[in-house]
Structure 1
Amino acid sequence: MTTVVRHEVVILGAGMSGLCMAVKLKRTGIDDFVILEKQPGLGGTWWDNRYPGAHVDVPAPVYSFSFAPNPDWQRRFASAPEIQAYMQRVAERFDVLRHVRFSTRITDARFDDDHGRWTIRTDANDALDARFFVCSTGPLNQPRWPDIAGIDQFAGRRLHSARWDPQADLSGQRVAVIGTGSTASQLVAPIARRAQRLHVFQRTANWVLPRMDRRYHRLDRWLAHLPPYAKAVRAAWVLVLEAGRRGFDEGTLARRAMLAAAARHLQRQVPDEALRKRLTPDYPLGCKRIIYSNDFYPALTWPQVELVTDAITRITPGAIVTADGREREIDTLVCATGFDTVHLLSSLQVTGRGGRTLREAWADGPEAYRGVTVAGFPNLFLMLGPNTATGHTSTLLFIEPSADHAIACMRAVRDGGHRCVTVRDPVFRAYNQALQRRLAGSVWAQCRSWYRMDGDGRIVALFPGFTREYVRGLERIAPADYEFT
């Protein structure tokens, strides 16, 4: 007979979102919670993404929690190992690790409307009972492999950037990288320095801007230990990144400046005119995620590196064949093809009121009220849910207010003697309809991208406004928005 373990809160995922929720729960006085993490360690995307050169693409001072600043960053754009180590320190400092069950995957979560609680099952056939269920898997969770004929028959080493083998030595290898997005821009140069030959397969050119990176020296770190200085630096970077948001709006000074910077960057780093032409995007700046890199363009000019823009027709056991009929023999295939950001939580069955599953509710694409709650799924809270991604600033600026809002809902249920809380269906639908109307007129609607359902459908990833607008929308729980049972 399966023993059911009761908790006030069950959190899915021990990435940045799950860690933030855990710390804020403890600071609120809620200690009865458990985090279920499928990987053997803390970090979420920073545990998964261990490819060479992995780093965050926003300045590190805004990629630390407001309640746990990190004065010891080594660089302005921190590396993946450095971020994972920071998360470990935060978890230890706030006594979170004792709440985490690693190597545990949730397979099913079902809401019992009679009791106002969630029953959650794991791949070990354990059962948990919780009043509140927090899903903090985020959009960068499920690796997406390219749909190319023959890929499963490739006989050499096959790697995905989000499932990197740390033992993989590419020295002297003939390597192919499929993809030229933000992940590829980070790993191409480190791989090229080791590989005998590197073929980079590009489907679409990307907008690339300089990365204002530098090493932090002893004085920087000494100053960062002074709270007023650290707070001022963080605030300054927030303002800089928010100003960059205007670059997505046509006709703005910020947009003209970004276009000019991108053109100069390409001109300076790629002397060959023919190669520059192949690296010039044919869609508006900002429609896809912008790349910030200082070594991606130069790596493509090295003699051992080839940029391939012909379409891939198939993969054989030892080579890649392109539309021009050419066959390139390779030893290692690297897929820097991103994540499935549309089919969120597809690896588990989440069932709400009336037996309706989240998969059914999201048949036309994922949607949530302010990215946090879903109509028909009481006491369920999403972290970095639909339409909370941002193309201009740190996701942590969205994660923290989302956690605060979810906890405020939990406290309202507890303090009011209620069983559950759910967003009202008319409010839920009106919010998402208004969101899609705004997005339909934005730069993100002008090309295919991972921001959109099936590449060219509804925009399900991005929030169209500035950070302050999103934060204001979560600052209070309006009685007209939520129904308490």
Structure 2
Amino acid sequence: MFDAVIVGAGFAGIGAAIQLKRSGIENFVILDREDDLGGTWYVNHYPGLAVDVPTTTYSYFFEPNPNWSRLFSTGREIKQYADDVADKYDVRRHIRFSTVVEGARWDEDAKLWQVTVNGGEVLSARYLITATGFLSQPKIPDIPGIDNFAGRVIHTTDWDDDYDPAGQRIAVIGTGATAVQLIPELAKTAADLTVYQRTPIWVVPKIDLRFGPRAKKLFARVPATQRVLRWLTDSIYEWMVTIGVVRYRTFRGRGNISAADLSKLHRFVTVRDKELRRRLTPDYDFGCKRPTFSNGYYRTFTRANVHLQDIGIDHVQSDGIVGTDGTKNVIDTLVLATGFDLWEANFPAIEIIGRDGRNLGKWWRENRFQAYQGVSIPYFPNLLSLASPYAFLGLNFFNTMEYQMRLMDRLFREVQARGATTFEVTEEANTRYLDRMTELLGNSLFTLGNCASARSYYYDPAGEPTLLRPTTTETAIREASEFPLSDYAIN
């Protein structure tokens, strides 16, 4: 029997493991379906992969990295950071790779979670922590005939590193953040590249500074210098999310309008064709769908070998794609940059059965998506679900992990102090928190802005923007450190 089972060995799982160790809990196991750690930063390795949040901000606050090569580091460097942190805090020895979790059920008599993995093995644990991330289940588009395509099909989450796009006729479906990074790379050598766009994306210029040897040496010798830089990047992003999303009513969308104007200027400078600019321009407010940074995305569409198709796809044939206007595009390779299935396959990512037989996925869909402090759900004792409704803080996952680790610290210290064996958030506390989140969202961009055409994954299947926690990072961290202990039944 384990004290805890953590599902997922990405940054959330690594952070949860570090916090368990800080709480004196060493008898735990991390289960991951992949054969290495890093989560999305291990699975994704397509050309052009890079973080779209400054790496000074995109890192654990307690573990700054003086070795970043640039402000927006590559996926390879982010993966190396995950390896380094896991090794430094002795996390790797707790991980069981290539282990698929099929489900978890609360045993009320034993007061334990029974976690079933592939092969039928059942692991017992006092605590269950799901760290499956928000971007873990690839989304395959439901397009007639796609299974009949005879050429190469590559989803960006399963990139073939041996694939050479040189001289190929390529179609890319999708224009989200992944596509913005990938498309300029493919265009460099492809004979012909057609981008199938359903929803345009807001793109702003990327100020990507390089960190030379002197800067790295300074960061290593005087860590305070890097913390000052992090404070700056954190503050900028916090300001952007606060005025553009959380307090949209207060600022009347002025921040969104300014950001949209910057994106429009970026398009005007790089794309001289007025009609092409129009087709690349979103018709929803800046921020309704995750925007991104790129200096080359818009420019790519001015290349002779790159074409934008936005009339829609009718079906796929063995050798190409037929548009809704009947025209056919013959291709060699079909690239699916279609993102992730956040809600249907990820909330939750595994079947979880709690007290009195309550099925978490079914309960969420029948009673609204909800989680106290973004981690706890009534009728699910000793469960911390780190990828839950109202968990994600704006643009930076690590700020989310920071407040979640603080909540774990406070909660486990209290459980240990009382000599207790279980904790469970009360229904009253959960309802109070849900009502507060709903009220706060009433002042946000997602309720008041023009977001209908964004097709944003921030919205759950019922149309509520429950992915994001509509508070500042400071508020989330304070509440995680000071929440009333009476909000939990600790026995």
TM bin, normalised by shorter chain, reads: over 0.9
Match of 1:198 in 2: 193
Residue 459 (1) aligns with residue 460 (2):
no
Residue 388 (1) aligns with residue 391 (2):
yes
CA distance in 1, matches of 2:5, 2:19: 14
Match of 2:303 in 1: 302
Q: Between 469-478 and 175-184, report the one with greater CA deviation.
A: 469-478
Q: How does 1:54-453 map to 2 (within 5 A)?
A: 54-225=49-220, 226-245=222-241, 246-248=243-245, 249=248, 250-251=251-252, 254-343=255-344, 344-364=346-366, 365-391=368-394, 393-445=395-447, 446-447=451-452, 448-453=455-460
CA distance in 2, matches of 1:419, 1:53: 47
Q: 1:49 to 1:415 in 2, by over 3 A?
A: same
Q: Secondary structure at the match of 2:307?
A: strand
CA distance in 2, matches of 1:459, 1:252: 18
Q: Deviations over 1:324-361 (max 9, x none)?
A: 11110111111111111113255532110001111221
Contact persistence 1:384–1:398 (CA under 8 A): no
CA distance in 1, matches of 2:218, 2:329: 52
Q: Which amino acid aligns with 1:180?
A: T
CA distance in 2, matches of 1:477, 1:261: 40
Q: How far has the Cα of 1:252 moved from its partner?
A: 5.5
Q: How far has the Cα of 1:480 moved from its partner?
A: 3.0
Contact persistence 2:406–2:477 (CA under 8 A): no
Q: Secondary structure at the match of 1:429?
A: helix
CA distance in 1, matches of 2:62, 2:179: 32
Q: Secondary structure at the match of 2:290?
A: coil
Gaps of 5+ in 1: 1-5
Q: How far has the Cα of 1:440 moved from its partner?
A: 4.2
CA distance in 2, matches of 1:418, 1:24: 19
Contact persistence 2:410–2:481 (CA under 8 A): no
Q: How far has the Cα of 1:251 moved from its partner?
A: 2.9
Count of residue correspondences:
478
Q: 1:335 to 1:390 in 2, by over 3 A?
A: farther
Q: Secondary structure at the match of 2:365?
A: coil
Q: Between 157-166 and 139-148, report the one with greater CA deviation.
A: 157-166
Contact persistence 2:102–2:350 (CA under 8 A): yes
Q: Deviations over 1:459-485 (max 9, x none)?
A: 121122221122222112413311123
Match of 1:474 in 2: 480
Of residues 13, 35, 43, the one that matches 2:38 is 43
Q: Secondary structure at the match of 1:362?
A: helix
Q: How far has the Cα of 1:419 moved from its partner?
A: 2.3
Q: How far has the Cα of 1:400 moved from its partner?
A: 1.7
Q: Which amino acid aligns with 1:376?
A: Y
Match of 1:7 in 2: 2
Contact persistence 1:383–1:403 (CA under 8 A): no
User: TM-score scaled to structure 2, two decimals?
Assistant: 0.94
Q: Deviations over 1:67-121 (max 9, x none)?
A: 2110000111011111001110111111111110011111121111222211111
CA distance in 2, matches of 1:267, 1:293: 14
Q: Secondary structure at the match of 1:471?
A: helix
Q: What's the C-alpha RMSD, in Å, of the aligned pairs?
A: 1.6
Q: Deviations over 1:133-189 (max 9, x none)?
A: 000001101011111111111111111112222222222111111111111100000
Q: 1:440 to 1:339 in 2, by over 3 A?
A: farther
CA distance in 2, matches of 1:24, 1:406: 7
Q: Which amino acid aligns with 1:7?
A: F
Contact persistence 2:134–2:342 (CA under 8 A): yes
Q: Between 84-93 and 342-351, report the one with greater CA deviation.
A: 342-351
Contact persistence 1:155–1:317 (CA under 8 A): yes
Identity %: 37
Gaps of 5+ in 2: none
Q: How far has the Cα of 1:449 moved from its partner?
A: 1.3
Q: How far has the Cα of 1:22 moved from its partner?
A: 1.0
CA distance in 1, matches of 2:432, 2:480: 16
CA distance in 1, matches of 2:20, 2:68: 26
Match of 1:3 in 2: none
Q: Which amino acid aligns with 1:64?
A: S
CA distance in 2, matches of 1:297, 1:47: 28
Contact persistence 2:23–2:413 (CA under 8 A): no
Contact persistence 1:109–1:349 (CA under 8 A): yes
Q: Which amino acid aligns with 1:50?
A: H
Q: How far has the Cα of 1:373 moved from its partner?
A: 0.5
Q: Which amino acid aligns with 1:227?
A: P
CA distance in 1, matches of 2:161, 2:392: 29
Contact persistence 1:409–1:477 (CA under 8 A): no
Residue 19 (1) aligns with residue 14 (2):
yes
User: TM-score scaled to structure 1, two decimals?
Assistant: 0.95
CA distance in 1, matches of 2:12, 2:349: 18
Q: Which amino acid aligns with 1:264?
A: L
Q: Which amino acid aligns with 1:476?
A: E
CA distance in 2, matches of 1:256, 1:460: 24
